[in-house]
Amino acid sequence: MAVLASVGASAPVLAESNLQTGTVALTATAKVDFQVTIPKILYLRVGTGSAYATGALANVGTVDLIQFTVPAASVGNSTAVAGTGGDLTAGVVTAAVVGNNGTITLNATASGALSNGAGDSIDFSQITTAAGTLTSATALPAPALTNAISANVTITPATGKVVVRDARWTFSYANTTTPAAGTYGGVNVNNGRVTYTAALP
């Protein structure tokens, strides 16, 4: 009885077979069940990162530095200043988001206005972001930077639940104010770092 119970318990993992015999035309059938499990994924890239288009989604720890140097004769004259740095150079970065469970929201968080460490500041609204197409037909929109948490940008799947969007984000310094002299922000100092966050339900 113990042997029979053991065989019965293992039966579901065995392949199906069907034996037919006789002198007329015969038909035999056998069935197989399939199951594929796809994990929920959310990928966000701003600047240097893995190339999602090749299927190489991965964590990359590089943080790009975008720098603006305003000519002395142009301070506060409302002529925008192009940046340097970024994985695409000239103040331009690759921005990309991939998700497979519906609408994605994207925002940007700063810990305060850019500071020069001497009590002076530049509002993050002075740094603008223009989104241009890269490989996807529609460019991934960029959150407007503020001194705190930006408004959410919503990315809706074109069909189904899958989002695959990217863009070239070009950062510029608007130069519409006249701040005190100094170097504002930097590599994770003086409120220079902005954190982009994507969220998926």
pLDDT in tens, 50-85: 877 656 777 888 999 999 999 999 999 999 999 999
pTM of the entire predicted model: 0.86
User: What residue ranges do the domains of the chain occupy?
Assistant: 42-199
- Cβ–Cβ under 8 Å, residues 20 and 174: no
For residue 15, what pLDDT is reported?
65
Note the pLDDT tens digit of each residue in 119-155: 999 999 999 999 999 999 999 999 999 999 999 999 9
Average pLDDT over every residue of 163-175? 97
Note the pLDDT tens digit of each residue in 111-129: 999 999 999 999 999 999 9
Note the pLDDT tens digit of each residue in 22-57: 888 899 899 999 999 999 999 999 999 887 765 677
- In the chain, the DSSP E strands lie at 42-46, 81-82, 92-99, 104-110, 114-115, 121-122, 127-132, 153-155, 163-173, 194-199
Note the pLDDT tens digit of each residue in 83-114: 999 999 999 999 999 999 999 999 999 999 99
For residue 14, what pLDDT is reported?
55
